[in-house]
Structure 1
Amino acid sequence: MALWTLFGLMRGKATTPWPSEGGNDGQDGILGMPRYNPEACLDGCEECAAICPTHAIEARENGLAIDYGRCITCQLCTEVCPSGAMEPSGDWAFGVRERDDLIWSGRGARERPQPHGGPKAFKRSLHIRHVDAGSCNGCESELQALNNPFYNLHRLGIFFTASPRFADLLLVTGPVTSAMYEPLMAAYEAMAEPRWVMAVGTCAVSGGLSGGNYACGTGLDGVLPVDVYLPGCPPNPAAIIEALLMFLDRAPQRVSGGQIDG
């Protein structure tokens, strides 16, 4: 018997039962999106807006305007806030189907949109083609973790494929650089109908730190029709899994109006 086989038998099953049976999602102690408490906001204070590197926070006369689609979870706003209006949280499951749901509204939960017919097409499996459209490789590191023994993405019937011709979903990372625009479009055009698109990471959602410069755009909006938005810098493996299951209608969308349930 090979030593690695013996080692595996001694260690037992390494895969988490999450999310089907609860249990460990691997994100204990991980900081997510900063949580906004408007009642604690001080009049005239613009500390968080001034320090935000991606302009995810803007100070306005009636309070703060927050776009979580621009947030890179750097936590700078929580560090400079003098009143606790911006506080750290473990809110990392920020996948949504509509871009507007990443913008803080203050109205609380609303009726959430359903996928655009996607889940009905996937009774057994989902095949994904990933395109790196100028990422720093932070998102790629998290994507690689999906296939490790702990997360074992295949157990959920979700697979990555090397060819867009066999893919149902195009998963894009990066702000869409000028050099990657044509390869990205070629991958999308090679996919058979019906086809869907998922923007993973703040760069793909809104451009992130480098968006809008001479070499790249501001994410996928206006480039491809996006069906799932998942901000984060980078979003962790559990957040990616939740967003994929949400797309398949196997998990609820937990965010609306920039606020997470529970």
Structure 2
Amino acid sequence: MLKMLEAIFAGKIATENIDTTGHKRLRGELSCGAGCDGCGKCAEVCPVKAVSVEQGKAKIDYNKCLFCGKCVEACANDSLTHTNRDKLAEILTESAVEVSNAVTAKLGRSLHVRHLDAGSCNACEFEMGALSNPVYDLHRYGIAFVASPRHADMLMVTGVVTRNLEQALRMTYDAMPEPKMVMACGACACGGETYGSTYATVGRAADVVPVDIAVPGCPPRPSAMIVALCAAADMLKEKM
């Protein structure tokens, strides 16, 4: 800890500007080019049925998508490619203003979040753990995780909802005061198809509680989570 503080004061660890564009190797939002002939090979190989062919072109359900790249590998014409952008169009619309500036503008609007793992593999939790480190520094946006749902404005759900935790999810949501919001974080919570249909799972978070905002990815990047949380802070203000 002392070495980390020394590195921060020495300027060796810098807080990252938050945006929706990652490393050039990031498997982000898919782009379907003009060469797509609607052959359907991408849909055949998708393990979670996130790809379909409509009007002769591939269509992606990002709530289910794992960003595994199998559809890109199967594309015969190389018309389906990954970009290095997070799929967050429903959360933050594109504009001339830089995303980092838009996110910084949320400063001063606090948001208290209660996290509930409904049955995840813990990949989303690893990324969430990075939110509080000096690189992402979630607290600079007035956003903090709380221990009790009675103190929370938002419920952040990760993992496919298991039958053992369905009741816990409902009770946590019911314990939250109004106004309240729910964020589904990751492909399991957003789409519910990651583990298929089994006796042990209920499905996605929206099958149990009303979801206001979804962050796709397996797992989503910390930056994508922060953009979504800051957008939620504005949405919460509108509910009040």
TM-score where L is the length of structure 1? 0.76
Identity, in percent, stands at 41
Spell out, residue by residue over 1:58-103, the C-alpha distance to the aligned partner (whole angstroms, 9 max, x if none): 2356433421111000011111212122102112142636xxx9xx
Aligned to 2:120: 135
Alignment map for 1:88-237 (pairs within 5 Å): 88-94=82-88, 96=90, 124-237=109-222
Amino acid in structure 2 at the alignment position of 1:234: P
Q: 1:176 corresponds to which letter in structure 2?
A: V
What's the CA shift for 1:248?
Answer: 2.3
Give the corresponding residue for 2:238. none
- Paired residue secondary structure (1:239): helix
Structure 2 equivalent of residue 36 of structure 1: 32
Q: Could you list the runs of 5+ residues in structure 1 that have no partner in the other structure? A: 102-108, 110-121, 251-262
* AA of the residue aligned to 2:13: A
- Amino acid across the alignment from 1:34: L
CA distance in 2, matches of 1:244, 1:203: 18
Instruction: Give 1:49's aligned amino acid.
Output: A
Q: Where in structure 2 are there 5+ consecutive unaligned residues?
A: 95-106, 236-240
- CA distance in 1 between partners of 2:121 and 2:219 (Å): 10
Match of 1:54 in 2: 48
Specify the SS of the correspondent of 1:87: strand
2:61 pairs, out of 56, 60, 67, with 67
Partner of 1:113: none
Q: d(CA) in 2 for partners of 1:41 and 1:6?
A: 52
Instruction: Report the CA distance between 1:160 and its aligned residue.
Output: 0.4
Residue matched to 2:231 = 246
The offset of 1:211, in angstroms, is 3.9
Q: Distance in 1 between matches of 2:108 and 2:4?
A: 33
d(CA) in 2 for partners of 1:46, 1:222: 29
Give me the CA root mean square deviation. Answer: 2.6
Structure 1 contact 165–192 (Cα < 8 Å) conserved: yes
Between structures 1 and 2, the one with greater helix share? 2
The amino acid that maps onto 1:89 is: T
Q: Which residue pairs with 2:11 in the alignment?
A: 12
Kept after mapping to 1: 8 A contact 2:132/2:139: yes
